[in-house]
Amino acid sequence: DTEVTQTPKHLVMGMTNKKSLKCEQHMGHRAMYWYKQKAKKPPELMFVYSYEKLSINESVPSRFSPECPNSSLLNLHLHALQPEDSALYLCASSQPQSLSGSSYEQYFGPGTRLTVT
């Protein structure tokens, strides 16, 4: 199973709302990622979790709050977003760098299309 699932597929939220994006993988990967992608651009890394601990935060505003409840799940909590936060949010997973013998390719979910009104 090489599937990463994300819910919801689409989300429209106002600037005062609180919502969460969810991501799940069952490939036994111990690194999970959140990316933001604007149209016709490469994904921009937001957060990395390695062995359920936050290892990278790419100076993301605090209105985005990640959470990794267990090795299969990754959440992104959203609060007081701005219209410029509208984008495709991608989750990915891979084996972590610290695990030797792996090839480290990332598997991506289909994304959540977020619109902030």
Where do contacts with another protein occur on this chain (CB under 8 A)?
31, 33, 40-43, 45, 48, 50, 55-56, 90, 94, 96-97, 100, 103-111
C-beta separation of 81 from 26 below 8 A: no
CB of 77 to another protein, least distance (A): 22
CB of 31 to another protein, least distance (A): 5
Closer to another protein by Cβ: residue 60 or 80: 60
CB of 50 to another protein, least distance (A): 6
C-beta separation of 71 from 5 below 8 A: no
CB of 8 to another protein, least distance (A): 15
Closer to another protein by Cβ: residue 2 or 16: 2
Pairwise CA distance, residues 16 & 107, whole Å? 32
Closer to another protein by Cβ: residue 21 or 90: 90
Closer to another protein by Cβ: residue 45 or 80: 45
Return the structure tokens found at 117: 């009104």
Burial group, residue 74, by CB count within 10 angstroms (0-12, 13-18, 19+) = buried
Pairwise CA distance, residues 113 & 36, whole Å? 10
Task: Provide the pairing of β-strand 44-50 with 107-108.
Answer: unpaired
